[in-house]
Amino acid sequence: MNFIEELRWRGMLHDIMPGTEEALTKEKVAGYIGFDPTADSLHIGSLVQIMILLHFQRAGHKPIALIGGATGMVGDPSGKSKERNLLNKAEIDKNMAGIQVQLEKILDFSTTTENHAELVNNYDWFDGFSFIDFIRDVGKHISINYMLAKDAVKSRMETGLSFTEFSYPLIQGYDFFVLNRDKNCRIQLGGSDQWGNIVTGTELIRRLGGTEAYAATTPLITKADGSKFGKTEGGNVWLDRKRTSPYKFYQYWINASDEDAEKYIKIFTLKPKEEIDELIKKHQEEPHLRLLQKELARDITIRVHSEEDLETAIEASNILFGKSTSASLAKLSEEDFLAVFDGVPQSEVSFSKLDGGELLLSEIAVAETGFLPSNGEFRRALKENSFSLNKDKVSDDIPISKDHLVAGKYLLLQRGKKKYFIAKFA
RNA sequence: GGGGAGAUUCCAGAGCGGCCAAAUGGGGCAGACUGUAAAUCUGUUGCGAAAGCUUCGAAGGUUCGAAUCCUUCUCUCCCCA
> 3-state SS of A240-292?
CCCCCCHHHHHHHHHCCCHHHHHHHHHHHCCCCHHHHHHHHHHHHHCHHHCHH
The nt closest to A289 (CA vs C1′) is B35
A417 touches strand B (CB under 7 A): yes
A377 touches strand B (CB under 7 A): yes
For residue A393, the surrounding DSSP H or E stretch is strand A392-393
A367 touches strand B (CB under 7 A): no
Task: Express each pLDDT in A36-77 by its tens digit.
Answer: 888 889 988 889 999 999 999 999 999 999 998 888 777 676
How far apart CA A73 and CA A81 sit, in angstroms, is 18
Looking at 3.40.630.10, 1.10.240.10, 1.10.20.10, 3.40.50.2300, the CATH number of the domain A231-322 comes to 1.10.240.10
Q: Taking the alpha carbons of A299, A304, A307, A309 in that order, is the dihedral positive or negative?
A: negative
A9 touches strand B (CB under 7 A): no
All structural domains of chain A with their residue ranges: 3-218, 231-322, 340-425
A257 touches strand B (CB under 7 A): yes
The nt closest to A417 (CA vs C1′) is B36
pTM: 0.86
The nt closest to A261 (CA vs C1′) is B37
Query: Helix, strand, coil shares of chain A as percentages rounded to 5?
Result: 50, 15, 35
Q: What is the ipTM of this complex?
A: 0.81
Task: Express each pLDDT in A187-210 by its tens digit.
Answer: 999 988 889 899 999 999 999 887
Q: Provide the pLDDT for residue A32.
A: 95
Chain A window 109-138, residues with Cβ within 7 A of nucleic strand B: none
Our measurement of CA A373 to C1' B63, in angstroms, reads 38
Cβ-Cβ contacts under 8 Å for A132 (sequence gap 6 or more): none
Q: Provide the pLDDT for residue A155.
A: 66
Positions of chain B reached by protein Cβ under 7 A: 28-32, 34-39, 43-49
Q: Provide the pLDDT for residue A10.
A: 93
A375 touches strand B (CB under 7 A): yes
Our measurement of CA A150 to C1' B3, in angstroms, reads 37
Residue nearest to nucleotide B27 (CA to C1'): A227
Our measurement of CA A371 to C1' B47, in angstroms, reads 17
A251 touches strand B (CB under 7 A): yes
Our measurement of CA A10 to C1' B9, in angstroms, reads 45
Q: Which residues of chain A have pLDDT under 70?
A: 75, 77-87, 155-160, 233-234, 323-326
A79 touches strand B (CB under 7 A): no
Chain A window 11-30, residues with Cβ within 7 A of nucleic strand B: none
Query: Is A340-425 assigned to CATH 2.40.30.10?
Result: no
CATH of domain A3-218: 3.40.50.620
Of A293, A317, A295, A296, nearest to A245 (Cα)?
A317
Cβ-Cβ contacts under 8 Å for A190 (sequence gap 6 or more): A33, A34, A49, A197, A198, A217, A218
